[in-house]
Amino acid sequence: MRTVIFRSIAPYLTSLMVLFSVFVLLRGHNEPGGGFIGGLIAASALAIYGIACGVAPVRRAIYFHPMAIAAFGLFMAAMAGVLSVFAGVPYMSGLWIYPQIFGAEVALSSVLVFDVGVYLVVVGAISSIALALEERDRD
């Protein structure tokens, strides 16, 4: 699998896929996409990088342990629901704010935070499995 062409292209492909996954995540509320699909794309991106260049560079690149990323995502998703406590509405009610950033109105919501949490859980869990499986060669 570790052909020169694959190894040369893999980093660019991975970067593009991760970028695309974030795009898919963010557009998810109105267009096809969302945290789950975005997470799957990012996980496959990391899997490709791992197959092409080995697991160690991937682990270095994502810095945190993939399971830690997943756990943080789960925590984030749960906390997104807790936010509604401060608004005095039931758990998991969507909350929206529309701040002006550089003159453009940006819709931010607890729902978005939740979706990012879903994204991180999927990326973390899937890539941790994939990376652990790819590590076979080393031992």
What does the binding site for other proteins look like in residue numbers (CB under 8 A)? 28-37, 40-41, 43-44, 47, 51, 67, 70-71, 73-74, 77-78, 81, 91-92, 94, 96, 107, 109, 111, 114-115, 117-118, 121-122, 124-126, 128-130, 132-134, 136
Count how many residues are written for the chain: 139
Q: Which is nearer to other proteins, 10 or 70 (CB)?
A: 70
- How many angstroms separate the Cα of 64 from the Cα of each of 6, 46, 67, 68, 72? 25, 13, 8, 6, 11
Q: How far is the CB of 134 from other proteins (least distance, A)?
A: 6
Amino acid at 37: I
Q: Which is nearer to other proteins, 33 or 58 (CB)?
A: 33
Q: Which is nearer to other proteins, 14 or 128 (CB)?
A: 128
Q: Which is nearer to other proteins, 61 or 111 (CB)?
A: 111
Neighbours of 132 (CB within 10 A): 12
Distance, in Å, from the CA atom of 98 to the CA atom of 79, rounded to the nearest integer, reads 20
Q: How far is the CB of 103 from other proteins (least distance, A)?
A: 21
Neighbours of 135 (CB within 10 A): 14
